[in-house]
Structure 1
Amino acid sequence: MIPKLVIHFIILVIWEVSAQGELPVAKPGCDSRCGDVPIPFPFGMKSSECYAEKWFEIECRNASTYTHYSHTPYLKSIGLEVTSIYVEAGTVTIKHPIYRSNCGSKDSPPVNQSLEGSPFVYSQERNKFVAAGCNSIAILKLNGSEVSGCVSTCNENYKVGDIGNIELRESDCNGTSCCESSLPSYLKEYSIEIKGLKEKESSHECSYAMVVQQNPYYSYRYYSYNAPRSYFPVNGVMEDLDVVPAVLEWEIVNNLNLTLPLDPLSECIDTNVTSSRYKRSGQRCYCFGSGNPYFEGGCPAVYRPEHSKSISAVIKGVSLSFGSIILLLILWRVLKGTKKTIVEKYRKRMFKRNGGLLLQQRLSSGEVNVDKVKLFSLKELEKATDNFNTNRVVGKGGQATVYKGMLINGTIIAVKKFKIQGKIEEFINEFVILSQINHRNVVKLLGSCLETKIPLLVYEFIPNGNLFEYLHQQNEDLPMTWDIRLRIATEVAGALFYLHSAASQPIYHKDIKSTNILLDEKYRAKVADFGTSRMISSDVTHLTTVVQGTFGYLDPEYFQTSQFTEKSDVYSFGVVLVELLTGKKPITHTTSEEAKSLASYFIMCVEKDCVFDIIDERVMKEGEKNHIMEVVNLANRCLELNGKRRPTTKEVTLELESIRKLEGKSNAQERHNELVRSEDYQSWDDYSTILEIRSAFDQSSRTPTLEDIHIRTI
């Protein structure tokens, strides 16, 4: 008797063949191509029935050269040429103008292409902000506020005109003559400014800046730890370029009058692509197979009712053919026998592609503590997350999505799934760093999975979201009291002190911000996201890197010099401390020049002696005025423009602990609660640096000290 697996296999093959042919792209009766570019619905041409709304209208223009005549698609709403549209990814690639400064006759006006009101945004994942120039700072602005930027320098051997001869495809853009930076999320319009490296100095040499598409590497360079992570699909030297490819993401926005088909062969999910104001700003749809899910009948069934007669005939024919039965039996045995080999080869291939060889080297060198991490199987994580169900998503970032899951033993976990193949450096970097850390206020790494196309990291699950959400979306059940703010600030400072001074090797976090501070079940702080962090030697004072970070938290000194020091983390912490004091966001888009940057606005208020005007009302009501002023002064010192004048994380931690101690003395009940909570910290057992800090506190008091809260976590 023919095994059921073989019968199903043959039926699927026959159904697949019967469904072959031209897959539907456009609506029936609508043109599906313009020149060589397919135009899938919701995009369309000519009749309004062929596209979803005006933003999706494609204008197919005539174009002719000396050699041939062709048609070229343009996105009519913004007047830019389209080179490709991908329904599955929700993207459209356009030819986007570049910005030139001091380049003679080729100078261009500031780029100001607005996508406001549209279902499009500039893709944060698939684009970079890139600039080429000598000793210049390129700044990407939104409504006049700096939201991204990078610094490019040249050595003395560079000649005038060398910048124009740069080939972007071959350039690493690591800060020497060419630099790159990430885009902010939800970007719909921007302007560009290029200025000299020195303060208040303009750049007098020819410079270029652009938003340009980035693609991951797929060559052997992809596996190298220090290799560039992406390349730019641009042909030609810089001075010959007028446009570069850029990628827009789109979704079917909620206010669009389009009824999505209820097709059992497709699925539509809520998305948040175009607006930060709503958790669900639109929808995207997917076919379970191939096709276009945005119109009725766009997802062709692998099996269709009209094929049932021919399928039955084929099945009968196969059943009556003895030779076919023998062949199928042999095929079944071969498939069964080789299945294990195929799976093993696939896993090995994925292991190598995800940097497994590099990881093995670091495991063997002792850089990774093998006893603390586990290698999870894909099957185990799929079961834990319900096959990575979108309902299990608990966080999204520019580079990864985080899913909540539960292992068979009942352990609740968070699984981080990187979005772009090519982020191997960040994956391995975070894996290596977190495997070295054992601190109560740093998120704990449980293990990883390398059997997938995109690597996965597994962490302890932190249930109460992040500090940004808790602070700016007030929880009525557990309001953000002054005591909680002070405790969270102390815990984060203690974690940074541990990273800088007490870990086996000093670690610079490089992206301290309130969204990277998670809150556990007791609302204790957990510092997270070490993708851009770096371990350094104890004798090294700074790192020279391409400027990376989040505007609003980025150290101005680092932005100017490209040199990251431990004091750069202190500056970012200072911004978080100001957030806790004021309850305001680090960047606000208002017409007031001073209010755009919380850090600069705070410093201005301190200088004008009106800082209490911006302190949160609850803080003013609950805190002692002199204690609040001590925290204000500490935050102000953390935000010093000269990094050498900023305190160390050890000094910050000691001062915050001292302020908490004084606050505790003013309320006997609060002191009792602190004593109860301190019992939670008795499980940590390393006292290697207690003596160094113990003298800073009154030994007769049992108010929780740095020893209770931080030193035990080392």
Structure 2
Amino acid sequence: MALAAALLFLLMLLHVLVVAPASARRRPPVARPGCRDSCGNITVSYPFGIGAGCYRNDGQQGFQLECHDSGLFPPRLTVSGFDHHLADLSLASGEARAYLNATRECFSSTGGLVDRTNSYMSLQYSVYRFSDAKNRLVALGCPNLGYFVDGDGYYVSGCMSVCRPSRYAMPGPCTGVGCCQSEIPADISFFGPYLRNFPPSKDSTAFTTNATSCHYVFLVEDEWFTYTDRVFLNRTDDFAVPLVLDWAVRNIDNCSAAGQNATDFACRSVGSQCVDATNGPGYRCSCPKGYDGNPYLDRGCADIDECHLKDEYPCYGVCTNTPGSHTCQCPPGTSGGATAKNGCRPKDNFSLALKTVVGVGVGVFMSVFMCFWLYLGFQKRKLIKAKQNFFEHNGGVILQQQMRSHRGAAEGGASGFKIFSEQELVKATNNFAADQVLGRGGHGIVYKGVLEDKTVVAIKKSKMMEESDIKEFAREMLILSQINHRNVVKLLGCCLDIEVPMLVYEYVSNGTLYHFLHGKELNTDTTLDTRLRIAAESAEALAYMHSSASPPILHGDVKTANILLDNNLTAKVSDFGASKLAPSDEVQIATLVQGTCGYLDPEYLMTCQLTDKSDVYSFGVVLLELLTGKKAICFSGPEDRSLVSRFVAATKAGTHEKLLDGQVRKEMGPEALEEVTHIVTRCVSVSGEERPAMKEVAERLEALRRYQRRPWGQAGGNDSEEGQSLFGRDMERGVEYMFGPQDVLDLEGGSTYTLSL
């Protein structure tokens, strides 16, 4: 008898030693040591907590809770500082459930207000947001306009409810007859409800028929709102409704930013995963797959022993628990599916018939594999042939011959120009990844790339090319590659083994002049000297292409978006997508006018003949943008859309100085103003003959810079004789600029103008 009792005690002890650890693994801690982990039947898991040191304190309210269990049954769990009643709190879903009284207004038969209860709810500066996925705004009673506003008093969402006679009741619940509902947007932390009554009126029976005495508006969980006996159209009492709150760690915007501060990072358990919040800023944590517990606590995630949870993880064979997972295998000598009842069966012998089937299957597989291998080889040869055809069609052979001939005639002239393969550029741009895009334009997309020698380049992938352009492409590439000017973006090479050739340029790091003038990084304190230097450098680049290149090159699309800036704000003219080699023997008439509205030469638009004076007109608009800080075309406001027409009108009225940027007016003296007005006026003249050459414009701008640096050249200075000597013309105050009605062609519309003949 004593031996039997000893054996029974030993079995019970082994059961405690074996089963207890398994149970402990299934019940990891949820709160900090020494802290309450529940209030009534609600589990309180960290980062939430009751009492000092039991909750996450990161500057955002909402994690500190209070449990009112003195004399209350069941105990009441509230948010400290807000006194919101929480009915449920979920760590896994990131949700909490709270209660809020419905806002009510009751009226007499004449429409007078007799009673009102108002209940708003503020979650501002807390970890909570109203769930946009699980809540909806509801207005009961009719006629009734219910809506709510945010913390600043601005409208957020609402709906209108109007009743009908009972015999004409509309099918469907809460569709606007006696009751209406609307969705709410995300990231809302304040609920301020309002009701709008419509007093009885003889003019409209729609607002008086079957009217109710009381109207309601409230925010409610969609699962509660089942339109059953809990919702009555004619109710007049006060009632509370549940609503869902989304919570997250919100003292930082997302996981990426939070992970940089290991001390403050809320995901503490080893292997815990961070997930960005979907409703407002912030993030939440979760245990990895196969683990359970609290990821916000050190060692809070514990391995799930699936072998002890057969209802969730059925296994009818040999179950072995592993970290984060488990294995379920049939016993030795059997095979089949161990996760299904009676799924394990004794192994059958490998019969002759089965061997035959396996052998035939292997033979068929090998035959299919050989056919597939041959098909891949055929496709590869086809691709190589297609690339060779593209290379020849795009003038690759001619370009190679011209490059060899040029190197032989002038050593080193085009030694820096290279013909790239498509594979090289695909590798340089990470297969033309979206995060490598530098800009998009009318001619194509520009990508940032890094070549094998670590050279950073800009790769222009054009959308299309006319057949007539392909014929001259090789000659134009060789000529453009010879441009060597500090203010012109260098053409480094091209890719010809694709349908539309790609161009490779030097990389300029500081963006475009357009974004510098009109982007978010605009610096209103940019000095006049910096603006004049950018203008002078751009003018020098265009003058170089017009006068020094052989043959001369016309840009054709001069604008601030095609002028790049490096780290020192040095201007570099780019994008020769619309460039043309100046004709040497005969006039060329374009069949397609290309350019950008606001910059397009009106004479070019009317004659379809691109000249060097077309670039002068476009540069005049660029100079205006630099001096005024305004866009070439403005689509908002009552003022004229075209910057040129506004400048001409202001010059006629003698008020053109007011059009200038405030910093420019502050620094520019009267003589400099007259000179720059003279330059712009001549550049934007409708008649090309009246426009100066780009070389003259560059020289005048450089002279203006030198004059502006002198003390007498700045605002408040006075030395007209010095101005005359620098500018080479009479500088008289009060000069009147005469314009005819034809002197400005105001083009409005889209960003790019194209006219087919």
More helix by share: 1
TM-score by length of 1: 0.45
Choose between structure 1 and 2 for higher RCO, CA contacts under 8 A separated by at least 6 residues.
Answer: 1
Larger Rg: 2
TM-score by length of 2: 0.43
